[in-house]
Amino acid sequence: MPVDKYTIIVEGERFSFTLDQLESDPGNFFASYFSGGFKEVPYGTKEMEIEKDPLLFRLIQAHLRGYDILPLPDQFVPPYMTKEGALNNLLKEATFYGLWNLQAKIEEYQKTTKANTAKAKALERLPQHKYKLAVCVPIISMLFQPLKPFLVYIAIQAIWMGNMRPCGERLQSALATVSLLFTIPVACPDELAVPRFQACRMLEGRAKRRRQ
């Protein structure tokens, strides 16, 4: 059974679609145009012509055919646009023609890209010595993992003997120090590793001042 084809002409270049493809992003302008949604368009029309950029429209065609188009391929970015500019213009086209699924995908992609860029810049602003500390402390913690029971015992004894506070407070302080020493994150370095290390140093300093 022959399938009806519909043609959209963009700057002289012909783009063919089936009706199912046009309706794959429901409620868009093209599907309405060819399915009798406009009184001004004669029934049975199978061609239309628009003045748009053919490279960007090829991305729209790929989207309506069910393909993922993000991130944008370099070869489909018009030479007079940047990649970011082409994506923004494609978003405008999606909004203008009512391609709501394409619009949502582009907006989500832009949001994710922006978040990743901000995270990368935050890591670049992190002072080098803090970054090295955040990397080295988890590694050292893993290397000394076999000695953990012994180190826990030493830490508890040092605080227990160095404080003259009641038994309950000494035990709580010892457990807090051990917790700080062995709960430094071993995940990707971030701003949390350094404050926890500094908190541990502050706790040790406080214990020394009490002994004096």
Q: What is the CATH number of the domain that holds 44?
A: 3.30.710.10
Shared-domain flag, residues 117 and 159: no
pLDDT of the residue at 39: 87
Domain enclosing residue 71, as ranges = 5-122
The pLDDT score that the predictor gives to residue 190 is 46
Write down the pLDDT at residue 124: 79
How far is 166 from 6, CA to CA, in rounded Å?
Answer: 86
The residue type found at 114 is K
Structure confidence at residue 49 (pLDDT): 96
Same domain, 147 and 113: no
Residue ranges, the chain, pLDDT below 70: 1-2, 126-212
Neighbouring residues of 172: CB distance < 8 A, sequence distance ≥ 6? none
Q: What is the pTM of this model?
A: 0.59
Closest CA to 57 of 105, 118, 7, 2: 7
Q: Are residues 41 and 142 in the same domain?
A: no
Domain end point (choices 74, 98, 122): 122
Q: Check whether residue 91 and residue 169 sit in a common domain.
A: no
Q: What is the pLDDT of residue 188?
A: 42
- pLDDT at residue 95, as a whole number: 97
pLDDT on residue 184: 44
Total count of domains within the chain: 2
Domain finish residue from 104, 122, 140: 122
**137 and 162 within one domain:** yes
* Stretch (H or E) spanning 139: helix 128-143
Give the per-residue pLDDT at 171: 53
Whether residues 116 and 135 share a domain: the answer is no
| Co-location of 202 and 104 in the same domain | no
Asked if residue 117 and residue 13 are part of one domain, the reply reads yes
Residues 136 and 93 in one domain: no
Question: Quick one: pLDDT at residue 168?
Answer: 54
Place of tokens 């679609």: 17
